[in-house]
Structure 1
Amino acid sequence: MKKTSKSFQDLPPIRVRREPPTISEAVAAAQDLADDVEQQVEIAAGLIGLPADEVRPHVLAAEKPKPEKISERILTSGSPSRAPRTVIVERRTRPPVIVERRGRPLDGRR
């Protein structure tokens, strides 16, 4: 025996909770989106809904250093007569693989 499905009219309206982000979450998001401190202040203030003057001290306190491209250097112990060699290891990211989903081919007989 099948269950009868409820129609959307029988269901109560969907309630959505709206929680603005915390200051630390907004500052972290702003730092990921912009490099300039003033832009970070504007972004964080817009996310939270506070004036920029209240957010600015939090952005300045959480200012993180700009990441530099650091290559790893590994020193190997060579023979005593030669100086140690330096091997540079660089990590590269691969582009994401895009898989196209295609439906079944259309049957020309129908």
Structure 2
Amino acid sequence: MVACFDVPQADRFQVIEELPAGMLVCDRHYMAPEQRSDDVVIFQITAGRERSDETRARFYARLTEELQSSVGIRPADVMVIITTNRLGEWSFSDGVPANATRQSDATTR
């Protein structure tokens, strides 16, 4: 994500969840030229801002290349869902909206 999705190096907020067999329901054929296997991996990414079509395409390609070369996951088994939102829809701590925190940080500098 740092190399291809314009994410800062220290931006580390990740949840990794492995589900038991049978707990992930995924249509093997939906919008997939090659049928998905039981090894399907779904990435749900929440981004604070939208990326260009070119940036997203570069990220998808790099992700599938890296997964195939490092752990043998077939590109057909990789699904990515990117959702974007605004800064005010985040609260990083103390129940304070992130946009209020940023405004507060700017006034104390």
TM range (shorter): under 0.3
Higher strand share: 2
Structure number with greater CO (CA < 8 Å, separation at least 6) is 2
TM-score calculated relative to the size of structure 1:
0.25
TM-score calculated relative to the size of structure 2:
0.26
